[in-house]
Amino acid sequence: MNRIFQSIVAFFVFLLLSFGAVAQQIQETNLVVPTQMTSASGDILGSGESDAGNIYYGATPSNLRAGSPVIVFIHGYSSRASTWWEGNDMYSKAYADGYRTAFVSVHPDKNMWENGQLFNNMLGTITNRFGVNKVVVVAHSKGGLDTDAALVHYGATNKVERAITLSSPHNGTPLADLAQSGWVSWLSGVFGQVNDATNCMQTGYASYFRTQTANNSNYSNAKFRTVGAWGYGGILWVPGVYLSWNGGGSSTGGNDGVVPYYSTKRPNSITLLSGNGNSTTNLDHSEVHEGRYMWATVKNNLPYSLSKVGAKPIDNEPTTNPTAVVESRVQILSSEKTSRNFMVEVGVTETMLDIHHLTANEEFVIIAPNGNKINPTTLRTSEKAGDMLGGFATTLKIENPQVGTYSIESKSAFVALVTANEGVTLRMTSDLNDKKYYYNVGEAINLNISLLNEQGINTQGTKVTGVMTLTSNDVKSQKAVVLEFNQSSQNNGQFKATVNKTLPEGVYSVAIQAENGNFSKSLVTSIAVVDGVLHTLGNNDVKDPIKENSVESIKLMPSFPNPFNTQTTISFELKNSSAAMLTIYDAVGRVVETVDLSSYGVGTHQYTWNVNQARVKTGLYIAEIRNGKERVTQTMIYSK
């Protein structure tokens, strides 16, 4: 009976989503020939402006090939159709070789469900326009996920002969995990990077999407060919280094500065070219969708020329779960109009800082452990960021750094990724493996952290803390679970946390910090908790936080104000006289303040948290009230 109810709910959710997508008005525009178009310089993620629902038809070539396929191009995250002709010669290459083309704009910040339904409808319009039964789709970045949803979940396989994806995150990307993490989401939200698109590109969400897609009856009818790249550099250098320490290193094919190569390989599809070491794919995330680099590959994979490609199916390759083992050698900092500290370990000869900030031409002051201001090498200054953190990006390099604690000082908000060529690495494993991609509601979650320490750095006294945060677009309403890591009795750098609480369905960001006086490392990933109803996974806005944030002995009401800049009032109700404790944690589970509530007694009470501005930094904080084994939490944002 429960399964029947879930199926009915899923059906009505499907109808609601379908209605919303169908209601999207489709506009059609004819493009002039490429030589008559005004060339504009596009950035890696396009303009970010939405013209969703627009179809742009390429001019009909004078050398049109009889019977040649129509090629439909779909863009990626935070982009639009013009990314194929602004600063890109893909349109002109296809036109010159005699192919009819159409370029579509879907929502730059929506998930694959909404865009997939819209794209399916647009494909119907396109096939009718050209009088063809099927087209070939070429998709860049997240456009590959939108295409997957259109074909498999919305039935567009009868309109698409095959799809060629270029650096599409079929298995998600750790950069989306980072953008959605409670660690930096309060700030990346200001940068405009917390939305349905980054939510669905989290590795945990992608794992769930892959399992749901593989179980769909249309799955075997969707024909995909995939291309991945590995040549990150320039503005994507440090994000590329970050990804290399999150499974996107050379041994797995590398990464293009936004998407790991392994993630570009869709199961049950054909992998074109190869990753690390292949000169053809020595490209970054933007270059991989440009005609000068990829048109030859696209052209050789159109239906008329199948014999030209010696493609290798990936069916015979073992299917791997990218969230099963996660590693990181990165420190993650987020701040608003203040400073943050980072640590350099023994043996490090080079440290890179990739700083994302809200305003252009921001100056950053770096103070060394000896108290002196230093002048690091500037690799880029205030370039428009080309990854999922957003804002402007400044990259600095410190060569032969001192061992110890540095600080970054700024007058505006920033997120920084600090990477080093040596040092301690964190490795996280869990119950997930290559056959288990997500947790079911009510299932215990076991998280294991290992310290990988090739340099022999002293890790005695290491404290590991962490938080699981239910991701949503309303950061201040996110639910959070504080992780309590216990060290192995062998004291061998192994730590474990178990979550036995029944968590609501959704995608959870996992943010973990490990540190002692000799090193400091951060790790971010995501995990899906599933209750069987397909489309609700990305709809996690809290509708009734008061009702949902209560247990038998405690009720915790929303704090006010939230966000706050000096103080906030936490309201709660104690339903019995047992001793209770209020604990305030930072975004990675470090204790900031504790308050003994044993004298408060039964009834409704308030506690006003006056922030010690000298000790507490801006960011996301978690208030937890614990009464015996029962606990309730809420998130708060402190902004100076």
User: DSSP string spanning 543-608?
Assistant: S-HHHHSB-SSEEEPPPBSSSBSSEEEEEEEE-S-S--EEEEEETTS-EEEEEE-TTT-SEEEEEE
Residues 6+ apart with CB under 8 A from 453: 424, 425, 459, 493
Residues 6+ apart with CB under 8 A from 401: 344, 348, 349, 350, 351, 368
Please check whether residue 483 is in contact with residue 474, taking contact to mean a CB–CB distance below 8 angstroms. no
Question: Pick from 477, 474, 470, 471: which is nearest to 503 by CA?
Answer: 470
Bridge partner list, 638: 564, 619
- For tokens 């791997």, the residue is 320
Q: Give how far the C-alpha of residue 72 lies from the chain's centroid of Cα atoms, to the nearest Å.
A: 26
pLDDT given for residue 379 in this prediction: 86
Q: How confident is the model at residue 43, as a pLDDT? A: 38
Cis before 34 (ω within 30):
no
Sequence-distant contacts of 636-639: CB under 8 A, at least 24 apart: 636/476, 636/559, 636/562, 636/563, 636/564, 636/568, 637/186, 637/475, 637/476, 637/562, 637/563, 637/564, 638/563, 638/564, 638/565, 638/568, 638/611, 639/186, 639/336, 639/563, 639/564, 639/565
DSSP states of 99-115 as a string? Answer: --EEEE---TTS-HHHH
Taking Cα atoms as reference points, which of 506, 514, 516 lies closest to residue 481? Answer: 506
**pLDDT value for 453:** 86
Token pair in block for residue 327: 């590693």
Walk me through the domains of the chain, giving residue ranges and CATH numbers: 27-37+47-176+188-318 (3.40.50.1820), 330-420 (2.60.120.380), 424-538 (2.60.40.1930), 545-638 (2.60.40.1930)
Q: What CA–CA distance (Å, rounded) separates 270 from 2?
A: 38
- Sign (positive or negative) of CA dihedral 76, 77, 81, 87: negative
| pTM of the predicted protein model | 0.87
Q: What is the pLDDT of residue 308?
A: 44
From residue 523, alpha-carbon distances to 174, 258, 284, 326, 395 in Å are 10, 17, 24, 8, 21
Task: Return the pLDDT at 153.
Answer: 94
The pLDDT assigned to 628 comes to 81
Residue pair 477/186 in contact (Cβ under 8 Å)? The answer is: no
User: pLDDT below 70 — which residues of the chain?
Assistant: 1-24, 38-49, 189-190, 305-319, 386, 476-477, 532-548
Can you give the pLDDT at residue 318?
62
Q: Which pLDDT score, from 0 to 100, does residue 195 have? A: 87
pLDDT of residue 18: 43
- Complete edge-to-edge strand list for the sheet that includes strand 404-409: 339-344, 404-409, 365-367, 373-374
